Amino acid sequence: MLFHLEFTVGYGAAMSQQDLFKIWAEEAKAALAAKDAGVVIDLWKAAGMRKVFAILKVDSADVIDQISFDLPIMKEMGQHVDIKVTAVRRYEDFASDVGQRLT
């Protein structure tokens, strides 16, 4: 299954920008390792925002929960991270389904 994840990262008043960067660097290493492993299809960072988008390929929504519990950024400051998850499908598959319904 494919999932689109949108991470919005905030940080508390007691946290410095350097503290955030330290945690985010740790998260970036984990995210890129997941990409190398094939779990993460691709990642994007929104310019000028503390927002990251990812496409993941996993067996079920349960795996999304399990992954999100173990992310470094969630362990360190999960109360300041909002994750929106949407199940997605390849557009080619959708187009094929629509085409079959025309006959």
Q: Does the pLDDT at position 92 exceed 80?
A: yes
Nearest to 83 by CA among 98, 99, 67: 67
SS3 content of the chain, % helix, strand, coil (to 5): 50, 30, 25
What pLDDT is attached to residue 19? Answer: 94
Q: Does the pLDDT at position 103 exceed 90?
A: no
For residue range 34-73, list pLDDT tens digits in order: 999 999 999 999 999 999 999 999 999 999 999 999 999 9
Residues 6+ apart with CB under 8 A from 83: 5, 6, 7, 8, 68
- Reduce the DSSP state of residue 23 to 3 states and report it: helix
What pLDDT is attached to residue 12? Answer: 87
Nearest to 73 by CA among 17, 42, 13, 29: 29
Q: Which domains does the chain have, with CATH numbers?
A: 2-100 (3.30.70.1060)
State the Cα–Cα distance between residues 27 and 10, nearest whole angstrom: 14
pTM summary value: 0.89
